[in-house]
A = this chain, B = another copy of it.
Amino acid sequence: MITGKNYIGNQLSAKGSKTYKTFNPQLNINNENVFIEADSQEINEAVSLASNAFKECRTLSGKRKAEFLSAIADEILALDDELIKIYCSETGLPEGRAKGERGRTVGQLRAFAELLEEGSWVEATIDTAQPDRQPMPKSDIRKMLVPLGPVVVFGASNFPLAYSTAGGDTAAALAAGCPVIVKSHPMHAGTGELIASAIINAANKTGMPNGVFSNLNSSGIEVGTQLVSHPKVKAVGFTGSIRGGRALYDLAAKREEPIPVFAEMGSINPVVILPSALKNKGEALAKTYAGSITLGTGQFCTNPGLLLGIKGEELSHFIQNLSNEIVKVEPSCMLHPNIIGAYESNKQKALKQPELTVVADYNSDVKANYARQTVTTVEGATFIKNTTLHQEVFGPYSMVVQCENAEQLEQVISKLEGQLTGTLIADDDEAKQYYKVIDALQNRVGRIIYNGVPTGVEVCPSMVHGGPYPASTDSRFTAVGIHSIKRWVRPFSYQDWPNNLLPDELKNENPLKISRLVNNKQTKDVV
Binding site for B on A (CB under 8 A): 55, 58-59, 120, 123, 125-127, 136, 138-139, 141-143, 146, 148-149, 249-250, 253, 257-260, 417-418, 428, 431-432, 438-439, 442-443, 446-452, 456, 458, 460-464, 466-470, 473-478, 483, 486-487, 489-498, 501, 515, 517, 520, 522
In whole angstroms, what is the CA distance A495 to B446 when docked? 11
Contact of A464 among B143, B260, B515 (CB under 8 A): B143
Q: Is the CB of A469 within 8 A of B58?
A: no
In whole angstroms, what is the CA distance A463 to B141 when docked? 7
* Given A439-B55, A498-B450: A493 and B464 interface contact (C-beta under 8 Å): yes
Q: Is the CB of B495 within 8 A of A450?
A: yes
In whole angstroms, what is the CA distance A501 to B450 when docked? 10
Contact of A143 among B55, B120, B127, B463 (CB under 8 A): B463
* Given A58-B443, A475-B148, A476-B486: A496 and B450 interface contact (C-beta under 8 Å): yes
Contact of A515 among B142, B253, B477, B522 (CB under 8 A): B522
How far, in Å, is A82 (CB) from chain B's closest CB? 24
In whole angstroms, what is the CA distance A462 to B432 when docked? 41
Q: Which B residues lie within 8 Å of A451 (CB)?
A: 496
What are 7 inter-chain pairs, A to B, with CB distance below 8 A? A139-B458, A141-B460, A142-B462, A253-B253, A431-B498, A446-B491, A475-B490
In whole angstroms, what is the CA distance A126 to B461 when docked? 8
Q: Which B residues lie within 8 Å of A469 (CB)?
A: 257-259
How far, in Å, is A353 (CB) from chain B's closest CB? 20
Q: Is the CB of A432 within 8 A of B501?
A: yes
Known A-B contacts: A127-B458, A139-B458, A462-B493. Give 13 more (CB < 8 A).
Answer: A127-B461, A257-B468, A260-B476, A432-B501, A446-B492, A450-B495, A450-B496, A463-B493, A464-B491, A464-B493, A475-B490, A478-B491, A522-B522
* Given A125-B462, A464-B491: A501 and B431 interface contact (C-beta under 8 Å): yes
Q: Which residue of chain B has its CB nearest to the CB of A461?
A: B125
Contact of A462 among B127, B418, B460, B474 (CB under 8 A): B127
Q: Is the CB of A448 within 8 A of B493?
A: yes
Q: Is the CB of B250 within 8 A of A141?
A: no
How far, in Å, is A281 (CB) from chain B's closest CB? 15
Q: Is the CB of A495 within 8 A of B449?
A: yes
In whole angstroms, what is the CA distance A149 to B414 when docked? 14
Closest 10 CB pairs of A and B: A253-B253, A447-B493, A464-B493, A143-B462, A141-B462, A475-B490, A449-B495, A125-B462, A127-B460, A127-B462
In whole angstroms, what is the CA distance A461 to B475 when docked? 24
Most chain B beta-carbon neighbours within 10 Å: one of A464, A466, A470: A464
Contact of A449 among B443, B486, B492, B496 (CB under 8 A): B496
Q: Which B residues lie within 8 Å of A464 (CB)?
A: 143, 491-493
In whole angstroms, what is the CA distance A39 to B428 when docked? 48
Q: Is the CB of A141 within 8 A of B458?
A: yes
How far, in Å, is A53 (CB) from chain B's closest CB? 13
Contact of A138 among B260, B458, B477, B520 (CB under 8 A): B458
How far, in Å, is A390 (CB) from chain B's closest CB? 13
How far, in Å, is A261 (CB) from chain B's closest CB? 10
Q: Is the CB of A520 within 8 A of B461?
A: yes
* Given A127-B462, A257-B418, A461-B125: A452 and B139 interface contact (C-beta under 8 Å): yes
How far, in Å, is A406 (CB) from chain B's closest CB? 16
Q: Is the CB of B456 within 8 A of A136?
A: yes
